[in-house]
Structure 1
Amino acid sequence: MIGAGVYATEIDAAMVNAEAQASDELRRSLLASTLAGLLIFLVVSVVAIWLVRRTVRPIRRTAEAMRDIAKGEGDLTRRLVVDSRDEIGELATQFNAFVSRMQEALRDVRRSTSSVNQAAEEIARGSDELATRTEQAAANLQETSASMEEITATVNHSAESAEQANQLVVATTQVAREGESAMQRVERTMADIDASSGRITEIIKLIDAIAFQTNILALNASVEAARAGEHGRGFAVVAQEVRTLASRSGDAAREIRGLIDTSATHTREGTNIVKQAGDTMREIVTSVARVSDVIAEISAGAREQNTGIGQINTAVAEMDTMTQQNASMVQQTSTAAADMSRHAQHLSVMVGTFILGNDSADQTETQKHSPSSGQRAALPRPATDPKPRRTRPVEEEWETF
């Protein structure tokens, strides 16, 4: 029993020692594992931090550059450093290419903006000068329209006067023709009177011859009565009376013949005068007909001038309307040019917020593409004329316009 108790005690002691050794080994194992874990954690942390910094730094630089560009304060001359050939390096390479393309595009935009600004200024100046000239042309057209209205009134008055003169000439022509007809009738009447005077003269000659023969017969009867003596005395008295009557008839016939001759002479003179008056009336009728034709032509020409001036007035009114429309379009062009210049300046200010580099080269290129002051075609300014506008030739005004 005593031996068994000793053996049990040794076993317990051995077990306690074994437990103590096991606890020490476990403690040492846990400590080694912990130290190894901490060491591995530190190594992994350092490697992770190095990898994160290596990866995040280029991305951060890219993000900062993109943020500067997005805010409009970026320097497009900067480039990312490409120190690897992985995805980060490819990203940096593509970003540098993108920034280069953007830099070139903004340079082109800056050059184009400068050219557009200069062109807008040129357009604005040209529009202002064209507006001034258009206003002068409108004033000239208004003066021309007023002058054409005065000319139209004058031509209308001339046409009315020519028409009245034509009517008067037509009436005068009719009166002259009636006078010519009357003169022809008078001429025929005078010819008839002349013929009648001739016939009366012949009759008077016949009466004179009869009176002469009667006187001779009475003389013969007186001679025979004287021979008869006392028986022929009565017959002698009768013969004497017959001689007296024959003598008186002869004297009267001679007087009538003288009167008829005088009347015939006057009639012939009147006939000649009437012929001359008829010729004069015919010449007057011919002249009046010519005057009527001339006045008719003048009246027709006045009507044509009136029609032509009406067409000119219509054309001037249309040109005035077109000039007003041109003035409105010029005003719109000037406003559009001012807006374009303002937008170009705003765009230039926006582009100026970026740093593009090679500013002197860009300015030289801009001056090369933009028209210089020496090469720019100067617009002709409207010439000032101290004289009244109506005294200038119309062709010169239109040529200037």
Structure 2
Amino acid sequence: MRKNLPITDQEFVLQDDQYLISKTDLKGRITYCNPAFVAISGFTREELLGQPHNIVRHPDMPPAVFEDMWDTLAAGKPWLAVVKNRHKSGGYYWVLANATPVIENGEVTGYASVRVKASAEQIHAAAAFYEEVAEGNLGGYALKHGRRVPAGWRRGVRALGMPFRGGLRPAMLRVAVGAAALGAIPTWLAARAAPAEQLPWYWGGYAVAALAVLWATQRVAGRFSRQLVNAEEAARQIAAGNLVNEVSTDARGELRNLYFYLDIMRKSLIGISTEVIGKTSDHVRTISKLHTDSQGLADRTEAQAGSLQDTAASVEQLAATVARNAESARSAAALTQESRVVVGQGGQIVRQLVSTMHGIDESSRKISDIVSVIEGIAFQTNILALNAAVEAARAGDQGKGFAVVAGEVRSLAQRTTQAAKEVKTLIEESVGRMSAGSNQASQAGATMQEILQSVERVSVLMEEISTASQEQAQGVDRISSAVNEMDGVVQQNVSLVGELSHVAEHLGEESAALAQAIGVFRTPASRAAPDAVLLRSEARATRLGQGGGHVQRLALASARDE
């Protein structure tokens, strides 16, 4: 016997409106469990499907209880008892369990169990009785069909009390006994007045009549009981969600309407369940598509948000660059203005230089003229010295001293002439250079004027560039603000789309739970009974599917191979 450990003293109490429904195949493997059963068990649906139903068995439950259950189900009868089940965490919960065979086309195809909340009195009585069962001390009682029944001589005593119990057969027996008792009175009165030899006929006729009444009442009770048992079985199958078997309407009398309305209820449930299953399937497909579309929208919105954030960052970098460009343009405009002032000052200096060069050229020309005068004077002095030497030679010895002086003067005049020529040559060269320098200075002045005009044009352009850069910076700031607002809106969209995806996922889970809940009904149009091995493989694939769809497909393929 399977023993599920560990266990704790934590109790999980069912609510009054909680109904736990599960189905198994003939080997006791779970093929269906409703959401309420999944919730109270602590397991997931994937952990339960395909597993033996004793996965929720509590160690405190005696094995004899479940032996009685399987014996009862094997006999085709329902089993009702208070059961203590184990929660996955080790805790426990008490239920009033009703297990019944599921019959399709006259054959048992599985078992269904419906559990509800057990009362405190039922739990206390069951716990005490299970202790007696575990100890083997039943005290003249036995466990049968989930109930504590008398055994041995107590069973005989109980049988003697049968006419006084409730039910149709005891009631009809009491009616037959009462009728026989009432029939004995007129028979006794008639027998008193009749000859002695006729008494056997009187009492023989009475006995035959009494037996006939007894036989008739029990026959009626038996037929009526069988019809009630059939109606009970039909109701039990419908309660278990098995809508495959048709309810016979061959009954007569008062039970005919009962059978008729049971069949109407079955067909009504078939119609309702079929419609609900169809709508649920459509709903699941719609929700699945909504979830897929919302997930795709979420991915695209997140990608758009990422792109927009990159754009915002780029715009911020562009704004910073434009701001730096505007600042640089303002600085360049200021430098251009300063260059304009400097170039203006340079032009003024060049103009002064040209004027000074012209003055120097004029002075050089004057010096050249003076040198020419000096050269003329030196020439005349040389002529005079030459004449004086001639006159001194004529004078003889008296003129020797004068001749010497005249010779010195002549030599001085010659040197002066030579120096004047050299000075003139230098001055002419200087004048030529001064002229060239003056021309170059004039050209420099003209160039400086052109540079000044160019700098003025550059200054105007830099002012325009500075103004345009400032306007561009303002425009980029506005673009950055707009992009940031768009980013905020997109982030809100991402959040809303995420919520939509979660809502769609929740709706999908609710729809799946609804589909699981409505799956308790088996209709003539339903597929074959679920295979526990396939369900276990699908559940395993679902758990492993988080690691990849390929693993899930392999698990499903292996399940089909089995």
How high is the TM-score relative to the length of structure 2?
Answer: 0.36
Q: Look at both structures and tell me which one has the larger radius of gyration over its CA atoms.
A: 1
Between Structure 1 and Structure 2, the one with more strand by share is: 2
